Structure formats: C-alpha cells, structure tokens
Amino acid sequence: MIELIDLSLLLFLAVLAVLVARLHNLFAVVMVMGFYSLVSAALFTVLDAVDVAFTEAAVGAGISTIILLATLLQTTSEEKPQPLRLVPLVIVLATGATLVLATGDMPQYGDPEAPIHRHVAPRYIEDSAREIGVPNIVTSVLASYRGYDTLGETTVIFAAGVGVLLLLGRSLRATKDDAGGGA
Amino acid sequence: MNHQIVLRVIAKMFIPFILLFALYVQFHGDFGPGGGFQAGVIFAAAFVLYGLVFGVDAAKRVAHPTLLQWCVAIGLLIYAGTGMMGILLGGTFLDYNVLNSHDPVHGQHLGILLVEFGIGLTVASVMITTFLCFAGHRPS
C-alpha cells in the first residue's frame, strides 16, 4: 500500500515538473509550482520528515507562490517560446542519466548500516534527551548541536531581505499619493 | 478588492487564528514539529493575507516598514547575541550550557528558546518586507 502512495506521489511530481518546463503561461507555471511543493510536502510526510514537510508547505506552496505572483505583476506572464537547442538537452540528459545510475550505489532507504546513520546521528539520538532535554530531536539538532549552521541559514535570510530592500526598498517608503501617479 | 465583502469578513476572521497558530508553532517547536522558520513564515502569511485583501497601504500601516527593517536585523542579533552570551559567561560561542549556572539542561532550553525567537523574528519580517516591496512596487 505504502509503495502505491510513494509511486503515485513521485509520478505526480514528474508530471508537474514536465508541465513547469512545457507551459508558456507563467501564471500557470507558478500555480503548478505551488502544486509541486504541496506534493513534495506530502512525500516528506510519508518519509516521516514532518518538520521538512511543514517548511515546504509553508514556504514552497505558500509564500513563494505569492511572491512569484507579485513578480509576474512587475514583468509579464507570457514566456516567449524558445527553439529546442541540442547541446543543453544533451547535457541535461547526460546529468540525469548519471544521477539515475548513481542511485544504484546508494544504500537502501532506512538501512541502519547506511553511512549517514553511523556517523553523528546515533550520538544525537542517544544523548539528546540527557544533554538538551527537548522531546523533538530535530529542534535540538537544529538549534543546539548544529546551532552554528542555523546561524548561517538565518544570515542567508537576512541577506536576502537586505538585498530586496536595497533593490526595491524605495517602494516601501512610498505611499499611495506619491506612487499613484505613475501607475 | 475593496468590494469583496465575503473575502474581507473571512480574512478578518482567519487572521487572529493564523497569528495564534504561528505563535503555537514558534513556542511548541521543542515538543512537536515546527520552529522559528515555519512560525516566521506562517506569521508573515497573516500579514500577506491582510495585504492582499485590504491593500498594501493598509498593510503598511499595520506593519510599519521602518519597524520591519529594524526587526530584520534584531532577530539575527538576538541569535548571534545568544552565541556571544556563551562566550561572556565562560563557555564557547553558541554554548547554551553556561546560560544557566545551576542546570545545563535549563541553559539549553533558554538558548533554544532565544535562538528560535530570533529566527522567527528575522524570517517573519524578511517575508513581510519582501511581500510589501514586490506588491507595492510600480513598474515605471
């Protein structure tokens, strides 16, 4: 049963990805990308990664869709059709084939002998309750054991905000009266 | 969208619950799924909904742009400041054990709470700022 759910979700993801690449109406593309994020979130839930699923649903399907729609408002919602170019297609196909080939060497999903489960994960799982005392181990890894990495992630978001403010910050200060003339 | 009375009423009903849910996700992240990143985005979503239904100018009156710009930096400073407190109290950078002199586990709880709050503040204000910038920008 679970294989059926996995298979249909992954198949749905593939269909949505092809749709994003093939559609020329960018409004439709943004909507399909929102669906893509929602299906990804469902897939993460199936993998028991609820924290990641939560983030994907909130950021990917929610805020990103709104911000992309706002971007379309500034530009255009129709993409010019591009002729099919051979070299990029070959590179993409070769990269995809390499990745598919490489999955053969990956450990089975959930394999306790997989390298990722034998490195620092056992220490986090065994000592988190005693050292940190927080029931959600994801939180204790994210905020305490890997606090330095999360500081970096927060800095990335800060930098993105500063970038937006530098580029479009003037419109933030403008009220309806002084911006309405050009609209 | 000023004439959409159903949208306006429904949005007004939903916004308090979205904000409350964001706060729940923020401060319950130690026990269930969630944390600063998710909570910040959900908190921002309430303001985005308000801005979509009532207009960007109304949203700017609620979330003042100058205040938002301060919050973008203050959130990150809370995070880095919590790290620096570790050094000042005789530990290493981002070492929460020393934050409580009696029980290192309580220090960890305090550190995680502060750090997650910093993340939530920065994420929420960056998301609201981005939305206001994009939605309020008039192409010239």
* Band of pLDDT at residue A27, cut at 50, 70 and 90: very high
The predicted-structure confidence for B105-137, as pLDDT tens digits, reads as follows 888 989 999 999 999 999 999 999 999 988 887
Query: What's the token pair of residue A153?
Result: 């992630």
pLDDT at A87 over 90: yes
Residues 117-136 of B with CB under 8 A from A: 118-119, 122-123, 125-127, 129-136
Residue ranges of B 2-21 with Cβ closer than 8 A to chain A: none
The one-letter amino acid code at B55 reads G
Q: What mean pLDDT comes out for the span B69-97?
A: 91
Query: A3 and A54: one domain?
Result: yes
Q: Which residues constitute the domain of residue B90?
A: 5-136
Residue B22 DSSP SS3? helix
- Domain span at A53: 1-79
Q: Are residues A55 and A127 in the same domain?
A: no
Question: Would A50 be classed as within a structural domain?
Answer: yes
Cα–Cα distance, B107 to B118 (Å, whole number): 17
Q: Does the residue A29 lie in any domain? A: yes
Cβ neighbours around A10 below 10 Å, total:
12
Q: Is residue A160 part of a domain?
A: yes
Looking at chain A, the whole-number percentage of residues with pLDDT higher than 90 is 43
Whether residue A177 has pLDDT greater than 70: no
- pLDDT tier at B139 (50, 70, 90 boundaries)? low
Chains A, B: CB contacts under 8 A, how many?
Answer: 158
Domain-ending residue, one of A55, A79, A103:
A79
Contacts 24+ apart (CB under 8 A), B15-22: B15/B46, B15/B49, B15/B50, B18/B42, B18/B43, B18/B45, B18/B46, B18/B49, B19/B43, B19/B46, B22/B46, B22/B124
pLDDT number for residue A36: 95
Looking at the partner chain, which of A63, A138, A144 has a beta carbon nearest the beta carbon of B44?
Answer: A63
**What sections of A56-175 are H helices per DSSP?**
64-74, 86-103, 121-131, 137-140, 147-173
Contact A168, B137 (CB under 8 A): yes
The helix-helix angle for A147-173 and B104-136 (nearest 10°) equals: 30
Say if CB B79 and CB B123 are below 8 A apart.
Answer: no
Mean pLDDT rounded to a whole number for chain B: 89
pLDDT tens figures, A97-137: 999 999 888 888 778 888 888 888 888 888 888 888 888 88
Answer yes or no: is A84 within a domain.
no
Q: Are A129 and A140 in contact (CB under 8 A)?
A: no
When mean pLDDT is compared over A144-148, B27-31, B43-47, B95-99, the highest value belongs to B43-47
The more confident residue out of A107 and B15 is B15
Put simply, the answer to whether A51 touches B35 (Cβ < 8 Å) is: yes
Q: Is residue A68 part of a domain?
A: yes
Count up the domains in chain A and report the number.
2
- Average pLDDT of B19-28? 93
Interval A30-45 mean pLDDT: 94
Distance in angstroms (rounded) separating the CA atoms of residues A139 and B116: 9
Number of domains in chain B: 1
Placement of tokens 């749709």 in the chain: A19
At residue B23, φ and ψ (nearest 5 deg) are -65, -40
Answer whether residue A178 shows pLDDT above 60. no
Q: For residue B119, which residues of chain A lie inside 8 Å, CB to CB?
A: 150, 154
Computed over every residue of chain A, the mean pLDDT equals 87
Question: What confidence score (pLDDT) does residue B140 get?
Answer: 55
